[in-house]
Amino acid sequence: MRRRRGLSRRFGSVVKRKNHNGVPTCLLARYPNPKEPGKRVVRRFPLGAEALAYAWLDGEEGFVRDYERGLSDWVPPEERERVVKLAREDFAVYAEDFLDSYRTVDGGRLRDSTMRLKRSDMALLVKAFGGMPVSEIGRSDVGAWLDDGVSSPYTRRRCYQLLRAMMSRLVEDGVIASSPCVFPVPRLPESRQAMIPAATRGELALIYDAMPDDTAVAVYLGAVCGLRIGEVCGLRVGDVDLARRVLHVRHAVMRSLSGEWVLKEPKTAASAGDMPIPEGLAAMLEAHIKAHCDGGGDAMLLSGARTGGILPPSTLRGQFDRARRAAGRPDLHFHTLRATAITAAAQSGASPKEAQRYGRHADARISLELYQRATEDGGRRVAEAVFDSLVQTGRDRARVEAELARAGERLEAARRDVERLEKELSSLG
């Protein structure tokens, strides 16, 4: 086929495609693939649409010539068209596709609980940017959303990180030239929970006594071994190796997407591992297993009262909350027991690396913060003692009041110890 007005083309060609009977069915516009010699780029057009076919070839020639001159990369027409389509796509539509293809760094699927949280965060982003084409979301739009201060600081931080990941994907796919997420990730306020004082020996004993008999051992699994509440609920009898005094942390109880409590791998790869069991705790675990566990190694160490199966972390948390109030520590959370374990490890002389390993933290910064807090508290007590022993100072009202407050704290702790010991003595007859 010849070009309009009888002129031959220097770039590509337009030919008629025929069926097995020799009847033309359509037009094929084609040209050599600039990146794969021997192959052709082909586009189909209806019969009689020669003008459209030639116009398409003229446009494609420009892309090829720019590629040959080194001015730009060449990508197949269908890829270019896909990018254009994506650029016009509504944020809400792209968000759904993005979540469906979301993967961890190593390419694995997200755990159900994490995916549920991502979908919740994405719903907030869709509320803010839904109806806008993804290519038209600018830094001013993102900045205005951040300035609105919607949601909690924690939610806003997660949402922004999710939005940044989306926009980075669009940049990688060539849909947008640069990400509009140019602002720093919102900072989090200082965690209130992180400032909760660790539990004392006497307080732990009171909490233990206030717990139901069949779950009381959870207190020391948290405070001594540093287990998370989901990890405690995920222990099987077979995970407790009394002969070697080793605790195998292999599972954690979490909610599935369907809302059921199921056994999953722990929070991080660092969370899974073996923990040494102190001799005293081994005796407590042995007594617990004899009194409350049936069914062999596959039975749950702590079982649900209704099903005899998995104990929901929410149930254990409710029991702990009642026990902490009974012990005079309503500020304590179960997770504070984990901080208590790491704090005690640091105060016993563990190095920062040992504290991280004991706490099974993937991020060393978390363990280091607890380590520093513990050593600072210990250092402060040492400094006060050194000062008092070496420096002769006048006694003023502020100093006496400070000493009185510290003495009151020690007296309250001693009072709780006395109550605990009296209760223990009474139970012994």
Query: What pLDDT does 383 receive?
Result: 44
* pLDDT of the residue at 268: 52
Provide the pLDDT confidence category of residue 391 given band limits of 50, 70 and 90. Answer: very low
What are the φ and ψ backbone dihedral angles of 294, each rounded to 5 degrees? -125, 155
d(CA 272, CA 230): 12
Q: What is the pLDDT of residue 150?
A: 67
CA 323, 329, 330, 332 torsion-angle sign: negative
What number is the average pLDDT over the span 162-185?
A: 91
Instruction: Return the C-alpha torsion angle 109, 114, 116, 121, nearest 10.
Output: -110
- Residue with token string 């398409």: 56
Percent of the chain with pLDDT over 90: 33
* pLDDT classification of 349: cutoffs 50, 70, 90: low
Looking at the DSSP bridge assignments, the partners of residue 18 are: 24
Give percent above pLDDT 70 in the chain: 79
Question: At residue 16, does pLDDT exceed 50?
Answer: yes
Least confident of 15-19, 118-122, 261-265, 297-301: 261-265
Measured CA distances, 71 to 65, 66, 75 (Å): 9, 5, 13
Distances (CA, A) of 382 to 36, 55, 153, 387, 388: 75, 85, 37, 9, 10
Mean pLDDT score of the chain: 80
| Amino acid letter, 193 | Q
Cα 164 from Cα 98, distance rounded (Å)? 12
The residues near 318 (Cβ < 8 Å, ≥ 6 apart) are none
pLDDT for 397: 72
- Digit-coded pLDDT (tens) for 357-385: 655 544 445 444 544 454 445 444 444 44
Residue 179: pLDDT band with limits 50, 70, 90: very high
Q: Return the closest-CA partner of residue 170 out of 88, 60, 70.
A: 88
* Stretch among 247-256, 292-301, 324-333, 401-410 having the lowest mean pLDDT: 401-410
3-state secondary structure of 376: helix
> In the structure, what pLDDT confidence band is assigned to residue 211 with cuts at 50, 70 and 90?
very high
Residue 24 pLDDT level (bands cut at 50, 70, 90): very high
**Cα–Cα distances in angstroms (integers) from residue 67 to residues 57, 61, 283, in the given order:** 15, 10, 75
CA–CA dist 117, 425 (Å, integer): 49
- Backbone φ/ψ region at 411: left (φ over 0), alpha (ψ -120 to 50), beta: alpha
Give how far Cα 44 sits from Cα of 11, 13, 26, 27, 158, Å. Answer: 17, 12, 7, 6, 46
Residue with tokens 């405690």: 232
Q: For the chain, what is the radius of gyration of the CA atoms?
A: 33
Q: Contacts for 252-256 with beta carbons within 8 Å, 24 or more apart?
A: 252/228, 253/310, 253/311, 253/312, 253/313, 254/111, 254/112, 254/113, 254/230, 255/112, 255/113, 255/116, 256/112
pTM of the model: 0.52
Strand positions, DSSP E, 239-378: 240-241, 246-249, 252-255, 261-264, 273-276
Residue with tokens 């139901």, as numbered in its chain: 212
Interval 78-124: pLDDT, tens:
888 887 888 888 899 888 888 888 877 666 777 777 788 888 899 99
Say if residue 34 is exposed, middle or buried (CB neighbours under 10 Å; 0-12, 13-18, 19+).
middle
Q: What is the mean pLDDT of residues 199-207?
A: 87
What's the CA gap between 252 and 271, in Å, rounded?
10
User: What's the pLDDT score for residue 186?
Assistant: 85
